[in-house]
Amino acid sequence: MSVSTVPLGNRVDANLKRAFDATAEELGLSPTSALTVFMKRFVEEGGFPFAVRKRMPTEAEYAAEMDARYRAMRNGSEQTHDLVEA
């Protein structure tokens, strides 16, 4: 049985595309084959074949961000912020 194919058009960051192509090549695949493998797994799994989660900052990263935001607010660099309820 013959499989019909259709073009898949999408826009991605140029650096991501280069990295994707290079990684596929390192694995001995064409970018098209690599994308096809991903799409087949996506369909079989009923979604992403890996965990998709929002990155949670570490306690140290969060504290550093809050310190930086507080300094900016204290120095008058920020007029509105979510550190204090209005």
pLDDT at 74: 85
Max alpha carbon distance in the chain (Å)? 70
The Cα 27–Cα 35 span in angstroms is: 13
Tokens encoding 21: 């192509």
Render pLDDT for 58-78 as a digit per residue (tens, 0 to 9).
999 999 988 988 888 888 876
Alpha helices in the chain (DSSP H): 14-26, 31-45, 59-74
C-beta separation of 76 from 68 below 8 A: no
What distance in Å separates the CA atoms of residue 80 and residue 55, rounded to the nearest whole number?
25
| pTM of the entire predicted model | 0.58
